[in-house]
Copies of this chain bind each other. A is one copy, B any other.
Amino acid sequence: MAITPIHSSTALLDHLARISRAHTEASLEQVGLRPRQLVALTLLRETGPATQQSLASAISIDRTNLVGLLNELESEGLVARRRAEDDRRRHIVELTEAGASKLTAAEVALARAEAELLHGLDEQERQTLYSLLQRATAGHVVDCTAAMHERASACVEAAGDDPC
Protein backbone atom coordinates (compact mmCIF):
# COMPACT_ATOMS: atom_id res chain seq x y z
CA MET A 1 0.00 0.00 0.00
CA ALA A 2 1.37 3.39 -0.97
CA ILE A 3 2.09 5.67 1.94
CA THR A 4 0.92 9.19 1.30
CA PRO A 5 1.29 11.96 3.84
CA ILE A 6 -2.08 12.76 5.35
CA HIS A 7 -0.93 16.26 6.09
CA SER A 8 -0.37 18.57 3.19
CA SER A 9 2.53 20.87 2.51
CA THR A 10 0.25 23.72 1.53
CA ALA A 11 -0.23 25.26 4.95
CA LEU A 12 3.40 24.80 5.90
CA LEU A 13 4.62 26.34 2.65
CA ASP A 14 2.39 29.33 3.19
CA HIS A 15 3.54 29.61 6.75
CA LEU A 16 7.25 29.26 6.06
CA ALA A 17 7.05 31.76 3.21
CA ARG A 18 5.49 34.21 5.60
CA ILE A 19 8.08 33.66 8.31
CA SER A 20 10.70 33.97 5.61
CA ARG A 21 9.31 37.31 4.56
CA ALA A 22 9.40 38.57 8.12
CA HIS A 23 13.01 37.42 8.52
CA THR A 24 14.32 38.74 5.26
CA GLU A 25 12.51 41.99 4.74
CA ALA A 26 15.14 44.06 6.51
CA SER A 27 17.91 42.54 4.42
CA LEU A 28 15.99 43.10 1.21
CA GLU A 29 15.25 46.67 2.16
CA GLN A 30 18.96 47.24 2.67
CA VAL A 31 19.63 46.09 -0.86
CA GLY A 32 16.68 48.13 -2.14
CA LEU A 33 14.45 45.34 -3.41
CA ARG A 34 10.94 44.26 -2.55
CA PRO A 35 9.94 40.59 -2.34
CA ARG A 36 8.12 40.57 -5.68
CA GLN A 37 11.13 42.16 -7.36
CA LEU A 38 13.43 39.52 -5.89
CA VAL A 39 11.22 36.75 -7.27
CA ALA A 40 11.10 38.40 -10.71
CA LEU A 41 14.87 38.84 -10.92
CA THR A 42 15.48 35.30 -9.66
CA LEU A 43 13.18 33.75 -12.24
CA LEU A 44 14.59 35.93 -14.99
CA ARG A 45 18.06 34.66 -14.17
CA GLU A 46 16.84 31.08 -14.21
CA THR A 47 14.74 31.24 -17.36
CA GLY A 48 16.92 33.67 -19.32
CA PRO A 49 15.51 36.44 -21.53
CA ALA A 50 11.76 36.06 -21.82
CA THR A 51 8.72 37.68 -23.37
CA GLN A 52 6.45 39.50 -21.00
CA GLN A 53 3.84 36.86 -21.49
CA SER A 54 6.11 34.03 -20.55
CA LEU A 55 7.55 35.99 -17.64
CA ALA A 56 4.08 36.76 -16.33
CA SER A 57 3.28 33.10 -16.58
CA ALA A 58 6.53 32.08 -14.88
CA ILE A 59 5.92 34.47 -12.00
CA SER A 60 2.18 33.72 -12.01
CA ILE A 61 1.02 37.30 -12.05
CA ASP A 62 -1.45 39.18 -14.19
CA ARG A 63 0.19 40.85 -17.17
CA THR A 64 -1.17 44.23 -16.11
CA ASN A 65 0.58 43.87 -12.75
CA LEU A 66 3.74 42.73 -14.53
CA VAL A 67 3.88 46.00 -16.44
CA GLY A 68 4.22 47.99 -13.24
CA LEU A 69 6.76 45.58 -11.81
CA LEU A 70 8.92 45.80 -14.91
CA ASN A 71 8.60 49.57 -15.00
CA GLU A 72 10.13 49.75 -11.55
CA LEU A 73 12.92 47.30 -12.37
CA GLU A 74 13.65 48.97 -15.69
CA SER A 75 13.75 52.44 -14.16
CA GLU A 76 16.46 51.17 -11.80
CA GLY A 77 18.39 49.60 -14.65
CA LEU A 78 17.94 46.09 -13.33
CA VAL A 79 16.18 44.74 -16.41
CA ALA A 80 15.97 45.84 -20.02
CA ARG A 81 13.11 45.54 -22.45
CA ARG A 82 13.77 45.34 -26.14
CA ARG A 83 11.56 44.59 -29.12
CA ALA A 84 11.66 41.10 -30.51
CA GLU A 85 13.21 41.31 -33.96
CA ASP A 86 10.71 38.99 -35.55
CA ASP A 87 7.61 40.49 -33.93
CA ARG A 88 7.74 44.08 -32.77
CA ARG A 89 4.60 43.66 -30.72
CA ARG A 90 6.61 41.62 -28.24
CA HIS A 91 9.13 42.85 -25.74
CA ILE A 92 11.99 40.61 -24.64
CA VAL A 93 12.90 41.20 -21.04
CA GLU A 94 16.37 40.43 -19.81
CA LEU A 95 18.41 40.83 -16.69
CA THR A 96 21.03 43.53 -17.00
CA GLU A 97 24.50 43.23 -15.46
CA ALA A 98 23.38 45.67 -12.80
CA GLY A 99 20.41 43.45 -12.16
CA ALA A 100 22.52 40.34 -11.88
CA SER A 101 24.84 42.15 -9.45
CA LYS A 102 21.94 43.39 -7.40
CA LEU A 103 20.50 39.91 -7.25
CA THR A 104 23.80 38.47 -6.09
CA ALA A 105 24.11 41.21 -3.49
CA ALA A 106 20.59 40.46 -2.31
CA GLU A 107 21.42 36.80 -1.88
CA VAL A 108 24.55 37.61 0.08
CA ALA A 109 22.52 39.94 2.29
CA LEU A 110 19.85 37.28 2.73
CA ALA A 111 22.31 34.58 3.72
CA ARG A 112 22.32 35.39 7.41
CA ALA A 113 18.59 35.93 7.62
CA GLU A 114 18.07 32.66 5.86
CA ALA A 115 20.48 30.86 8.17
CA GLU A 116 18.28 32.06 11.02
CA LEU A 117 15.12 31.09 9.19
CA LEU A 118 16.37 27.59 8.55
CA HIS A 119 18.27 27.07 11.77
CA GLY A 120 16.26 23.90 12.41
CA LEU A 121 17.89 22.30 9.38
CA ASP A 122 21.52 21.38 8.85
CA GLU A 123 23.54 22.45 5.81
CA GLN A 124 22.75 19.35 3.80
CA GLU A 125 19.05 19.71 4.49
CA ARG A 126 19.08 23.37 3.45
CA GLN A 127 20.57 22.40 0.13
CA THR A 128 17.99 19.64 -0.22
CA LEU A 129 15.24 22.15 0.50
CA TYR A 130 16.59 24.55 -2.13
CA SER A 131 16.81 21.78 -4.68
CA LEU A 132 13.28 20.56 -3.99
CA LEU A 133 11.86 24.08 -4.17
CA GLN A 134 13.71 24.70 -7.40
CA ARG A 135 12.44 21.55 -9.01
CA ALA A 136 8.94 22.07 -7.74
CA THR A 137 8.81 25.60 -9.18
CA ALA A 138 10.59 24.61 -12.39
CA GLY A 139 7.71 22.26 -13.12
CA HIS A 140 5.51 25.30 -13.54
CA VAL A 141 7.42 27.45 -15.95
CA VAL A 142 5.72 27.91 -19.30
CA ASP A 143 7.93 28.94 -22.22
CA CYS A 144 6.46 30.40 -25.38
CA THR A 145 8.22 29.27 -28.53
CA ALA A 146 9.18 32.84 -29.35
CA ALA A 147 10.94 33.19 -26.03
CA MET A 148 12.68 29.89 -26.59
CA HIS A 149 13.87 31.17 -29.94
CA GLU A 150 15.26 34.31 -28.37
CA ARG A 151 16.92 32.28 -25.69
CA ALA A 152 18.74 30.21 -28.27
CA SER A 153 20.42 33.31 -29.64
CA ALA A 154 20.90 34.92 -26.23
CA CYS A 155 22.54 31.85 -24.71
CA VAL A 156 25.87 32.46 -26.39
CA GLU A 157 26.00 36.00 -25.08
CA ALA A 158 24.98 34.95 -21.61
CA ALA A 159 27.47 32.10 -21.38
CA GLY A 160 30.14 34.23 -19.71
CA ASP A 161 27.61 35.90 -17.49
CA ASP A 162 27.00 33.16 -14.96
CA PRO A 163 27.25 34.76 -11.50
CA CYS A 164 28.93 31.71 -10.07
CA separation between A19 and B45, bound complex, in Å? 19
State whether A24 touches B12 (Cβ < 8 A): no
Contact partner of A126 (CB less than 8 A), chosen from B9, B20, B106, is B9
Interface residues on chain A, number (Cβ under 8 Å) = 60
Residues B35 and A14 in contact, CB atoms below 8 Å apart:
yes
Cα distance A163–B5 when bound, in Å?
A: 12
Tell whether, in the assembled complex, residue A20 and residue B14 are in contact, meaning their CB atoms are under 8 Å apart. yes
Q: How many copies does the complex hold?
A: 2
* CB of A34, distance to nearest CB on chain B (Å): 11
Q: Which residues of B have CB within 8 Å of A135?
A: 120-121, 125
Nearest neighbor of A129 in chain B, beta-carbon distance: B132
Q: In the complex, what residues of B have CB within 8 A of residue A35's CB? A: 11, 14
- Considering the chains assembled together, what is the distance between the CA atoms of A97 and B27 in angstroms? 42
Please report which residues of chain A, range 44-83, place their CB below 8 angstroms from some CB of chain B when the two chains form the complex. Answer: 59-60
Given contacts A6-B107, A11-B35, A16-B137, 18 further A-B contacts (CB under 8 A): A5-B126, A6-B104, A7-B107, A9-B126, A9-B130, A10-B38, A11-B41, A12-B133, A12-B134, A13-B16, A14-B38, A15-B39, A17-B18, A118-B136, A118-B139, A120-B139, A121-B136, A128-B132
Which residues of A does B touch, CB under 8 Å? 2-22, 24, 35, 38-39, 41-43, 59-60, 104, 106-107, 110-111, 113-114, 117-121, 123, 125-130, 132-140, 163-164
